[in-house]
Amino acid sequence: MGDIDAVDELVGLWSSEATGLYYSSFGEDALAFAADGTGWQEQYPYRVIRFTWRRVAAGELVLTCHERLQYLDGALGPPQPHTASYRIAYQIQEEDTPFEGRRVILRIDPAVDFAHEFGRVSRDPSPCEHQVS
């Protein structure tokens, strides 16, 4: 298992569908971490939560949620206030996976919705294909 550069290890787009650990899942959860400390979490096709993030210790971060957007008829509705803060333990490793070969995997505790594991999709945390930026 390889080590990932600690300076920017979280920056990027992560998806529960991209782990290569499972054949399929019931839905897709995505996390995005931007280098400026902003990010978003999406449970498609239900909602998007925008947040800020910061590391508080090695392998530990705090997410502070600011707003929620619900999908309505396939499109994101207007932002609604959503204030919450979560302390999350995380681990990132490159692994051999059963379905996708070598993948960079993010494991978090507690889970976001039902997802504990996310595969790196991209180093670019821009909105995924479902979202309007």
pLDDT tens string 64-107: 999 999 998 888 999 999 999 999 999 999 999 988 889 999 99
Distance between CA atoms of residues 68 and 82, nearest Å: 6
Q: What does pLDDT average to over the chain?
A: 86
Q: Is 15 exposed, middle or buried (0-12, 13-18, 19+ CB in 10 A)?
A: buried
CATH tag, 12-122: 2.40.128
Q: What predicted TM-score, i.e. pTM, was given to this entire model? A: 0.85
Instruction: Give the separation between CA 68 and CA 47, rounded to whole angstroms.
Output: 7
User: For residue 84, what pLDDT is reported?
Assistant: 94
Of 97, 84, 100, the closest CA to residue 41 belongs to 84
d(CA 42, CA 104): 19
